[in-house]
Chain A
Amino acid sequence: MKGAIRVKECPSEELILRLAQDELDESQSRLIVEHAESCGRCAKLIEEYKATFRLLATERIEAPSPGEWERVMGKVRGSVTEEMHAWPLWARGAAAALATACLMLVLWQARVLMTRPPGELSGLAERSEEALPSEETLFASDTMSVNLASLDNGQLDELDELYAGGTVLHGSDALVFDLTEEEEERLIEELESSPST
């Protein structure tokens, strides 16, 4: 009877996923398949996973051409040679400090549109002079302080590029910092579902 009880319970989604990917051994698969015969929910889930894998398997990536590889390797050779004649450490430190100072100046003057997920807007919103548009997750502020010390080199580079290059910025500059994975997903979901103008 024990077996019968187990078959009545819905298997975990992870097991269903592995079944759809042919990763379970026969006895495990059989139990789930038997269960799915009398459980519409699991049957549907199995079908959905199988269909998902079929769709995903259609994605093809084309390899770069020999000419492109040659260009990449050419640049690698160049960088490696450059690396060998790199500036001494103290000079690099000085250059970094200078870059940071410039960045602060730019930030001081920048009009910044800062994005945060809705739940965490309150404190920041109070400092914004503009009223928050009701369905927007973004808000604008003319001044903002960024703790540059908290940014890693990658973020500093990115900031630098963002301001120096004036990329994608239409009137407002937008930054999203330090979002957790869940926050990021929520934010992107909201942005995607917000009505187009």
Chain B
Amino acid sequence: MNEREERLLKAFLDGNEAAFEELVKDSWERIYRTVMRIVRNHDDALDVMQDSFVKAFTRIRSFRRASSFATWLTSIAVREAINRAQRDRFRRAVSLHLLGKRPSPAGANPDALAERSAIRERVAQAIEALPPVQRAVFTMRFYEELKVREIAELLGSSEGAVKASYFHAVRKLRRNLSGLR
């Protein structure tokens, strides 16, 4: 916990609700990026952010201060995002099958379709094909450049499990993206 977090947290616990917003604001962009990469949809990502903030707000008294507030909040959001992605996984299988097999995520909207080039589309699809936990681990390691130990802590998992997830994810990504260069 840095000094600023300490001060804001104290203010919040003393009844100043606006302090919570300040606390959250410091890290919300970074957390949003991570969440977005896990759930892969802007509206879902905002939903997850909202749910995570509510959880943090209502559980703040159980925050042990072993880590920074930002880390604690990230941990809530990442788990929330993984849950969301897991809940959606059967819907994904369903829509793949019932809605014309392999729909482009941009749907029938030609404008949105034009926005994503073929390569970007393939990259997005390869990432979307990863199981949620692997996607989360990959995101935190590759895009957010977190250490294996930090990821394990955020997920409440072991370093070995994180390493294995990362390896499996990258191997799948390589296979799915080979031939695309």
A residues near B, CB below 8 A?
Answer: 13-14, 17, 48-49, 51-53, 55-56, 58-59, 61, 63-64, 68-69, 71-73, 75-77, 79-80, 83, 115, 138, 154-155, 157-158, 162, 167-170, 172, 174-177, 179, 181, 184-185, 187-188, 191-192, 194-197
Contacts and interface: CB of A to CB of B under 8 A. Distances in A.
10 contacts: A55-B119, A55-B123, A59-B143, A63-B32, A72-B53, A76-B57, A80-B58, A168-B98, A175-B90, A176-B90
Contacts of A115: 90, 93-94, 97
B26 interface: no
B155 interface: no
Nearest to A84: B58
A162 to B, nearest CB: 8
B70 interface: no
Contacts of B90: 115, 158, 174-177, 179
A61 B46 contact: no
Interface of B: 17, 21, 24, 28-29, 32-33, 36-37, 42, 46, 49-50, 53-54, 57-58, 83, 86-87, 89-102, 119-120, 123-124, 127, 129, 131, 133, 142-143, 167, 170-171, 173-174, 177-178, 180-181
A-B pairs with the 4 shortest C-beta distances?
A176-B90, A174-B94, A196-B101, A52-B174
Contacts of B123: 55-56, 58-59
Contact of B181 (A55, A68, A75): A55
A71 to B, nearest CB: 8
B33 A63 contact: yes
Contacts of B83: 154
Contacts of A17: 167, 170-171
Given A13-B171, A63-B32, A63-B33, A184 B131 contact: yes
Contacts of A61: 32-33, 36-37
Nearest to A14: B167
B16 to A, nearest CB: 14
Given A55-B119, A73-B21, A115-B97, 18 more contacts: A17-B171, A48-B174, A48-B178, A49-B174, A59-B123, A59-B143, A64-B42, A71-B46, A72-B49, A79-B50, A83-B54, A83-B58, A154-B86, A162-B91, A174-B94, A176-B93, A188-B93, A191-B96
Contact of A56 (B46, B49, B129, B142): B142
Contacts of B24: 73
